[in-house]
Amino acid sequence: MPSAVILACTGVLLCAGIASIFFARASGLHWVTYGASLSAASVALLTAGGYLLQGSAGPSTLTLPLGLPWLGAHFRVDALAAFFLVVVNLGGAVSSLYGLGYGQHEEAPHRVLPFFPAFVGGMNLVVLADDAFVFLLSWEFMSLSSWALVLAHHRDRENVRAGYVYLMMASFGTLALLLAFSLLAGAEGEYGFAAIRAASYSSGTVAAVLILVLLGAGSKAGIVPLHVWLPLAHPAAPSHVSALMSGVMTKVAIYGSIRIIFDLLGEPPWWSGMVVLALGGATAVLGVLYALMQHDLKRLLAYHTVENIGIIYIGLGLALAFQANGMGQVAALAFTAALFHVFNHSLFKSLLFFGAGAVLTATGERDMERLGGLIHRMPYTSFAFLAGCVAISALPPLNGFVSEWLTFQAILQSPQLPQWGLKILVPAVGSLLALSAALAAACFVKAYGVTFLGRPRTAH
């Protein structure tokens, strides 16, 4: 039963976090904690992947006698959840593997080890949730554990500021989602996803829920203008945690948007596609423009997360627009492009943050202007970072190119849309997507060239 197996793996992750609190000062604890996290995430990954490969398997559900006194805690694995569980646990497994080596150099392991497995477990619980109570509780647990990891190096005042900003934005997002679920529950107070899915809603309720979800889940994903926490928090965290936050946690926020807007709300109105498209286009371009101005390597990568979240929302906006107009095949193409970019970004962004972490460990520097010539000193890191740069720049033949190419294929079908607003907006967003891809390539030529090529700029 996939839901039971993955929930058990999540329990192992949570127990590993609790045990790390009591043995925080033990020698070699990082081997045990990251080893347990690697094992649990790997089993969950194989289980979710096996469920996806079955294809026709029905949803796997599980109810535990927890939660509010009058209802249990409901968990469910369907195709959408299984896909995101693969993303979460693949990221969790490789970050745990990276942590086995990186953890040896950690200045304050007792501030990282208890919260790392809890963070991975919290993300799993969000995706497994099948009622609003479990979803919101897991969402907040995910937020608080990641907040603690952002503050791991709390002696740096910049990191403390990042933690405060992140906590405020996380609280804002949770409140918005709480209000959204309150509207979905209605007067009957049905918080189970099955009951919400079966209900019908007025156009006003649909509009309000859409806005609240874009505020709540969108702030966690990093859409503009709710991205302010992301370039502060991601560089502040340890590098393997930065990879999880940037490559995986933002995708859990995308999952929240998809689950509510595409699944629980039912058939979308056509204008919802316009809203999501406009936000996605603005987020993609502004994210890459901010990235071009950065000299801090990890902050540059964080802003590129904003850009790629915009690309994913462009795909989701296209899917909403085409689905509302009865163009199911094109909607499926756009939705596939968005999900493929979710998976791709989780891979190459984790790879890039791992590379940045290796550079930081070897040199003690994040400022690219003080680096240079590292290709001779770190050839394997240089090659891996180059592969990530090519992928995130959407250059063939790597995966970033394929998902953005699929998005462009969906954009080219926009003349078939009946609404003039969409006929005008979709090509405009397509031009923004092309611009963001070109600017991303320019940005990573700079990042790779300045960091790894040329001559060393300091004695480090």
Indicate the pTM of the whole model.
Answer: 0.93
For residue 119, give the amino acid letter: F
In SS3 terms, the chain reads as CHHHHHHHHHHHHHHHHHHHHHCCCCCCHHHHHHHHHHHHHHHHHHHHHHHHHHCCCCCEEEEECCCCCCCCEEEEECHHHHHHHHHHHHHHHHHHHHHHHHHHHCCCHHHCCCHHHHHHHHHHHHHHECEHHHHHHHHHHHHHHHHHHHCCCCCCHHHHHHHHHHHHHHHHHHHHHHHHHHHHHCCCCCCEHHHHHHCCCCHHHHHHHHHHHHHHHHHHHCCCCCCCCHHHHHHHCCHHHHHHHHHHHHHHHHHHHHHHHHHHCCCCCHHHHHHHHHHHHHHHHHHHHHHHCCCEHHHHHHHHHHHHHHHHHHHHHHHHHHHHCCCHHHHHHHHHHHHHHHHHHHHHHHHHHHHHHHHHHHHCCCEHHHCCCHHHHCHHHHHHHHHHHHHHCCCCCCHHHHHHHHHHHHHCCHHHCCCHHHHHHHHHHHHHHHHHHHHHHHHHHHHHHHHHCCCCCCCC
Ordered by start, the domain boundaries in the chain are: 308-460
Tokens coding 99: 């942590």
From the first residue on, what is the mean pLDDT of each consecutive set of 10 residues in the chain (460 residues)? 89 88 74 90 93 81 71 87 95 91 72 89 94 93 92 79 90 94 80 86 89 93 90 85 92 95 86 92 94 90 93 95 89 94 93 90 83 85 92 88 92 87 90 93 90 70
Residue 459's pLDDT is what?
58
The whole-number pLDDT of residue 33 equals 87
Question: Is the Cβ–Cβ distance between 167 and 228 less than 8 Å?
Answer: no
Q: What is the pLDDT of residue 174?
A: 94
